[in-house]
A and B are shown apart, each in its own frame.
Chain A
Amino acid sequence: MVMVNLILILLVGGVLALLSERLDENMPRKVALGVVVVDLLYFLNHLLAMPELNQLQAPLASDPSTWLMHFRADWIPAFGVSIELALDGISMLMVLLTLVLGAVAVSASWTDVTVRRGFFEANLLWTLAGVLGVFMALDLFLFFLFWEVMLIPMYFLIAIWGHENRGYAAMKFFIFTQASGLLMLVSILTLVAVNHSATGQWSFSYFALLNTPMAETTAHWLMVGFFIAFVVKLPVFPFHTWLPDAHTQAPTAGSVILAGILLKTGAYGLIRFAVPLFPDAAMDFSYVAMVLGAAGVVYGAVLAFAQTDFKRLIAYSSVSHMGFVLLGVYAWNELALQGAVMQMVAHGFSTAALFMIAGSLQERLHTRDMREMGGLWHYMPRMGAVAMFFVVASLGLPGLGNFVAEFLVLLGLFKVDPWMTAIAALGLITGAAYSLLLMQRSFQGEPNPKLADHGLIDFGGREMLTMAVMMVALIGLGIYPQPVLDLAQPVLQSLLEVTP
């Protein structure tokens, strides 16, 4: 029930935020923050009360009771659809990331959003509810439902509160995800039909569908259906073209959620569904996937280097960083997978923070063009220092989370394919180049005298607090990553056992 409540709190909270606008214009953001924090505390409270957390065992795919939490209720028995939610180490990490970044997103929207605030915060909370559903659903019908439904509030966030080209960006985002989602739906239904002909049972449950016997070609096609849906979301070259538009046009809070959380649903889907459901097919396919991943790392980095738009640069850097996740997943050994999971968390924080900085700049300067910036450190030293921190985090400075993640991926990958590792490592060098360029063009250099007219205000208490949360998280991940690794390890171990 805890998991259902987690989602319900956000759904109901969204309605409350919507209604609270009638009381006071500033009420929705307070309600939204309260709801997310309550949700987070509720979750932590339950986690800390669980004795299993200290001695994690590998969750067995055959036995839901070995998972940290499991919930099941009938929904549409005619199709064998149930409301089945479950939590293991990886989904727990993702849920925590979602809730923390959710609070960050509310904070980012604090002064950024000026119209229809109630509906904005409601959509924000509903998106978070959908994402939580994706991370916890283990019934494929339910998973698909959350996967699609979370798009709608996100679509509204971009289409209503986005920047100048919002209509185009929102549409592109929706069509890419929806169209690839349809392929996944066909795959899911075929998988269920195959399972039905083997067992005589209609079931969408993950536990029932694992180890479905099927012909080799069938498995290949179905795996491709899942793979495309997930890599579009991740996104991986050449399916990434929606991302720069959506991230650039979205309001700050929207970008934070998109980059911080929504991209991770793709990675999560690969780890949870695409590989374990079709282990043989996925292993046959791994070389193609790794090539795409390596290409994404380099291509994203090169394009990021060429951008003049602050947000677009960060967006392309996401393409590059997510390439590491794909490499990590398809290298399919413990080190690389650990790296992929670590990257999901670390990239979530570092990019969310960078987008928040971009949003603050846009709010103050009314532009995202780095050619019109320069020397901002002079005017806003606190923001400059914070930006410096996250830029070096993003380029993979040792001691911070992203370094651990990328290093683990490369280490794991080296055992599988040294050449691919060499190409991916290029991403670290180019990453340093574009990250420092970003810093140099906007915050350093000669102070641009025109900027002084904007009456630039440095980061205040709210912003610094939000940033501090993410800094602590990244430093923690960088210096003492063991707790996260311990959480993920049993899950990854049990996943590795399903493959030959």
Chain B
Amino acid sequence: MNANSLMALMPILMLSLTAVVLMIQASIKRDQSVAWFISALGFLLTLWGAGYAREFTQPVTVLLIVDDWGLFFTTLIVAAALVTLILSRDTFSTEGERKEEYYLLLVLSVLGAVVLIQSSHMVSLLLGMELMGVALYAMIAFPEKGQLPLEASIKYLVLSACASAMLLYGFALLYAATGDLSYGGIGLKAMLAYQQNPILLMSGTAMVLAGIGFKLSVVPFHMWTPDVYEGAPTPVTGFLATISKGAVFVALTRFFVEGQLYEYQSLMTALAAVAIASMLIGNWLALRQENIKRLLAYSSIAHFGYLLVVLIALSHEGAEAGLIRQAITFYLAAYILTTLAAFAVVACIAGEDESKNQIAAFDGLFWRRRIQASSLTVAMLSFAGIPLTAGFVGKFYVISVGIQSQLWWLLAALVIGSAIAIYYYLRIIFTMTKSAGTAASGQFRASTASQDVLAMLLLIMVLLLGSWPQPFIEFAGRL
């Protein structure tokens, strides 16, 4: 550990500093807008830190690896955290006092996500996941008045604890099998261990994957998702859907690639089953949802099913690792942007009023809130994978990678899943285009200028990434 490695840790340092400053501020004078500004400043500094650290990419101890790929996702996630911050202000500013802790929790959770992204060792994986998760339990339950948030929080807490226990047990088994806990070390020693005792290694890996799968909410570990999505305050739901899931997927990719898990046929078969089930069941269950947050929960299950296809593609001999990495980068970026766009609108229009999270409550939005409605429309089209949106290029990557690795069954599930998905995405668009003759024009919460600008910005980014992806593809290729 030298000065150089400290420079490489700049984003983590900045986030930790922000957390400390927030705690000191809360002990001097409790003021929510000051806390907001400190967090915003902290995130901006972290963004700078992520750029700064690009000069110093290196493995830092055995625990962390700082590379361009991780730094890109750090940037993306901190930017998403900024969006969450903006949405949170509108949500929480109206609901009484003493919300400074929320911002502290948010910063800590992002810190956990960044550690997760840069982890190269089982210990840092667990550290990051727990830091992110524990802060999230409190964030989900933050509006202390309602029952739903509490229920969601308890559900998430209990199931997360189970997942962590699985993860730890998996670590123990892997350690017993290989005598190493770093991804690279496991990758080197696993094949030998597999030949000696396949059951030990496979059950260890399977348990780790199950723990991670829980956080990604892929089928069959998806049961908690709709309830938690529905119960959590909308900005926190957005956080969960983008930052938490995105960071975990990056960590999974690192473990998967470094640990060379793609070498084991039985594991790949199991993962393929998980992916197919996620794509089909996720999309199928989304069909009948009446609550938009629950609908988005099921849709995210399906999207991580699509992403798993890319990982499974690594197992094929002809697979190009570079293309697969690019595909993951693009798909995750597109997914995070699109999800942010969707939740920004839901948070703005529906707020915390449960009845307004019903799809029917979006009746006629098109004619009353043009910008918000257009943003949600584009987000839905992007989720559905219609050309000119970011989601299409993402799907394009997934299908290309699948074809190269000849995963015909997975592709068939993807096509069927996407075909089902069109229905519920279109349903939202259709509801918005209804001419709401009965509803009064005051039905929707007024949107502030910052919300409109945010919606507009996210809309433009989703369209830009979809219609002119060349610069981003080149960038992703260099990572």
Contact = CB atoms under 8 A, between A and B. Distances in A.
Nearest to A156: B433
Interface stretch (A179-187, A284-292, A362-370): A179-187
Contacts of B470: 75-78
A155 B477 contact: no
A175 B381 CA distance: 13
B415 A182 contact: yes
Nearest to A77: B470
Contacts, number: 71
Interface string A139-173: 00000110011011001100110000001001100
A160 B477 contact: no
A79 B387 CA distance: 15
B457 interface: no
Contacts of A167: 430
A23 interface: no
A167 B434 CA distance: 9
Contacts of B427: 171
B419 A189 contact: no
B430 A145 contact: no
A193 interface: yes
B76 to A, nearest CB: 20
A182 B306 CA distance: 14
B403 A144 contact: no
A152 B381 contact: yes
A145 B387 contact: yes
B387 A144 contact: yes
Nearest to A183: B415
A189 B395 CA distance: 11
Contact of B400 (A145, A183, A193): A193
Contact of B386 (A77, A152, A156): A152
A182 B400 contact: no
Contacts of A444: none
B288 to A, nearest CB: 15
Contacts of B367: 116
Contacts of A170: 426, 430
A76 B388 contact: no
Secondary structure dominating the interface of B? helix
B399 interface: yes
Contacts of B429: 159
Contacts of B387: 144-145, 148-149
B473 A174 contact: no
A73 interface: no
A178 interface: yes
Contacts of A179: 415, 418-419, 422
Interface string A27-58: 00000000000000000000000000000000
B435 interface: yes
Nearest to A168: B430
A153 to B, nearest CB: 12
Contact of B418 (A79, A156, A182, A193): A182
Contacts of A159: 429-430, 433
A190 interface: yes
User: In this complex, which of B422, B423, B469 has the most chain A Cβ atoms within 10 angstroms of its Cβ?
Assistant: B422
Contact of A190 (B381, B388, B403, B418): B403
Contacts of B404: 193
Interface string B423-458: 100110110010100000000000000000000000
Contact of B435 (A79, A115, A156, A178): A115
A186 B404 CA distance: 11
A148 B391 CA distance: 14
A473 B387 CA distance: 36
B313 to A, nearest CB: 13
A397 B418 CA distance: 45
28 contacts: A75-B470, A78-B470, A78-B473, A79-B473, A115-B435, A145-B388, A148-B387, A152-B386, A156-B433, A159-B430, A160-B433, A160-B435, A170-B426, A170-B430, A171-B426, A174-B422, A174-B426, A178-B386, A178-B419, A178-B422, A179-B415, A179-B419, A182-B418, A182-B419, A185-B399, A189-B396, A189-B403, A193-B400
Interface of B: 367, 381, 384, 386-388, 396, 399-400, 403-404, 411, 415, 418-419, 422-423, 426-427, 429-430, 433, 435, 469-470, 473-474, 477
For the complex of A and B, the 7 pairs showing the least CB-CB separation, nearest first, are A179-B419, A145-B387, A78-B473, A182-B415, A76-B470, A148-B387, A160-B433
